[in-house]
Amino acid sequence: MLYPILTPSRLLSDLSGVWDFKLDNGEGFDQEWYKAPLEDPMTMPVPASYNDLKEGIDFRDHYGWVFYQRKISMPSFVKTQRVMLRCAAVTHYAKIYLNGELICEHKGGFLPFEVEITEKLQDGDNLLTIAVNNVIDYTTLPIGGKSNMMNGMGGFGSSSSAKPQNNPNFDFFNYCGITRPVKIYTTPKDYIEDITLVPEVSGTTARVSYKVDTVGTGDCKVEVFDKEGNLVAQGQGTQGVLEIENVHLWQPLKAYLYDVKVTFGEDVYTLPYGVRTVRVEGTRFLINERPFYFKGYGRHEDTFPNGRGMNLPMNTKDMSLMKWQGANSFRTSHYPYSEEMMRLCDEEGFVVIDETTAVGVNLDFGGGANFNGQKVSTFDKEHGVQTQEHHKDVIRDLISRDKNHACVVMWSIANEPDSYSEGAYDYFAPLYELARELDPQKRPCTLVSVQMAPPEKDCSAKLSDVICLNRYYGWYFGGPDLELPEQALRKELDYWKTIGKPVVFTEYGADTVMGMHDTTPVMYTEEFQVEYYKMNNKVFDDYDFVVGEQVWNFADFATSQSLLRVQGNKKGIFTRDRKPKLVAHYFRDRWHKIPDFEYKK
């Protein structure tokens, strides 16, 4: 899927701004709110999560549908064009109405979708309504459930007739709404539908195979320009090979992007593109044939009051802070990030592990799920998760969107799933197979393993090209003591050594309250956080097959309310407003001493 841009043949209109908005407590569809202007609406910015933008717990924790609405009008000359309405992300389910007519539905809250509206537009104003549902259950990704309990607790005072609430099976807040831009773009009737680029490098020469998907008739030409605007390669037809002499490779933190200009008939599209190679060899992760070491973070798209809404200033600040520290990578935990962020990573040279929305695919969390008093396994045919087909759709959409990004070096199929119980292999094996089939660059695939997964039963050991581990030795497991957790961590790594694959630690961390200090490093102090990381990093350095460390988390972030979370998760190296904790300086010193390549020869 191509990112919408303004070109000599394409118009682009961004519908970002203040929309009308209304919570639906069950009457919206019965009363057909989508057929007329909303009565007594609130104002709501788009893009943004709505949860923190109005006051009251009923608003923040609203369960179910909300309605967004605005009027749009298009110039008359676009009638000769193909007109598309595109939503970059609507969390989690969307119904789109134009002038009262349902024109599109979409499941999944973190990837783009679009619909042609050429024949649906009227002269003058058109009423655009987007109904958004935030309900999560055993069929959605991420996974959740419905709770009818008072304040999340059963017992005296609880009632099955209480107001329903989402019960996320994951540890971050269920922000919802139109979280990324809504745009209208046009193309000629004969148009470029998609572009696929696959690089091969030999010495100083790159051979980039290309395929242009088109609709209609016309001649196709592909041209490659360097940063100075010089034509360095060209091809004719919808398929071929572009040969670039004296190629400038896209390197971690030293990005170089070419402009690939495609012309098909009257349609023109330019794609920024970085040439680089990625593969796994033994226990090494190779970028441009050099062994790479991941330094960086698991993150969240989480700011106040935007929630998970796109925040370009904060994205820019985060890049600056990570570069200040010497970080070179992050994982899009636990969902695909905005297209704008991915393009920024291409430009800045950040390496990305690109993750699907599959978080919470594990019914062992919180003591396990049950049905009528009987424990239910994650992949129980009748009562377990029912997500595999949707999971496949997410993988298709993710790879379609991100396949050409130089920054993306690995696909993460899921975060902390049940990868060890009966049915796990049968669930995940087809997903790996699909990802490998769809990715034209054949990037490595992984699954981020939860600590409760016994290594000898973890199906990721067989399925993954790279073993990615979320481990909390010294915090959830063994804390506050650090000696025994260190021994346990070493014992586990001794096992993974026998598998013969690279290992990246994709999460490890300790909750820390900013400004909490002690002469003795006790839990939750900034001093303990430093000691925790020193212990873990010392172990990582002793194993040459450990090829990366991604700290959990870059910044403090919002979660559902619970006894374990005081205003969210405090494992951030920075506060939610990006102030550094003591450990930020520790990592700045460490990471600037660790080279991006050949750290462990």
Same fold, 190-276 and 280-593: no
* Partners of 415 in the β-ladder: 359, 448
Is the bond into 305 cis (omega within 30 degrees of 0)?
Answer: yes
Q: Lowest mean pLDDT of 437-441, 454-458, 583-587, name the range.
A: 454-458
Q: Has residue 156 got a pLDDT over 50?
A: no
Q: Has residue 369 got a pLDDT over 80?
A: no
Distance, CA of 436 to CA of 464 (rounded, Å): 11
CATH: 2.60.120.260, 2.60.120.860, 2.40.37.10, 3.20.20.70. Which one for 12-134+174-186? Answer: 2.60.120.260
Distance, CA of 214 to CA of 212 (rounded, Å): 6
Q: Are 538 and 473 in contact (CB under 8 A)?
A: no
- CATH no. for 190-276: 2.60.40.10
Give me the residue spans of the domains in the chain: 12-134+174-186, 190-276, 280-593
Please report, for residues 367, 473, 512, 560, the alpha-carbon distance to residue 566 in angstroms, rounded to integers and kept in the order given: 22, 22, 11, 10
Q: Sheet of 258-264: strands edge to edge? A: 231-236, 220-225, 258-264, 267-273
* Partners of 147 in the β-ladder: 165
The per-residue pLDDT for range 236-289, each reduced to its tens digit, is 999 999 999 999 999 999 999 999 999 999 999 999 999 999 999 999 999 999
Q: Name the packing angle between helices 526-541 and 582-593 (round to 10°).
A: 20
348 counts as catalytic: no
- Give the confidence band of 164 by pLDDT, cuts at 50, 70, 90: confident
Architecture of domain 280-593: Alpha-Beta Barrel (3.20)
E strand residue ranges, 513-573: 546-552
From the candidates 416, 492, 526, 549, give the one annotated as an active-site residue: 416
Distance, CA of 266 to CA of 216 (rounded, Å): 11
Among 157, 139, 138, 132, residue whose Cα is nearest residue 46: 132
Q: What are phi and psi of 429, to 5 degrees?
A: -55, -45
200 counts as catalytic: no
The mean of the pLDDT values for the chain is 95
The per-residue pLDDT for range 508-533, each reduced to its tens digit, is 999 999 999 999 999 999 999 999 99
565 is written with which tokens? 């979370």
The per-residue pLDDT for range 300-353, each reduced to its tens digit, is 999 999 999 999 999 999 999 999 999 999 999 999 999 999 999 999 999 999
User: CB-based burial of residue 325 (10 Å sphere; 0-12 exposed, 13-18 middle, 19+ buried)?
Assistant: buried
Among 429, 421, 427, residue whose Cα is nearest residue 375: 421
From the candidates 114, 339, 507, 549, give the one annotated as an active-site residue: 507
- Give the confidence band of 155 by pLDDT, cuts at 50, 70, 90: very low
The contacts found for 27-32 with CB under 8 angstroms, 24 or more apart, are 28/65, 28/67, 28/131, 29/65, 29/131, 32/100
Q: Has residue 372 got a pLDDT over 70?
A: no
Distance, CA of 158 to CA of 207 (rounded, Å): 65
Distance, CA of 369 to CA of 388 (rounded, Å): 19
What is the mean predicted confidence (pLDDT) over 480-489? Answer: 96
Distance, CA of 485 to CA of 477 (rounded, Å): 7
- Percent of the chain with pLDDT strictly greater than 70: 96
Half-sphere exposure of 91 (CA within 13 A, CB side): 28
The per-residue pLDDT for range 1-46, each reduced to its tens digit, is 999 999 999 999 999 999 999 999 999 999 999 999 999 999 999 9
User: CB-based burial of residue 154 (10 Å sphere; 0-12 exposed, 13-18 middle, 19+ buried)?
Assistant: exposed
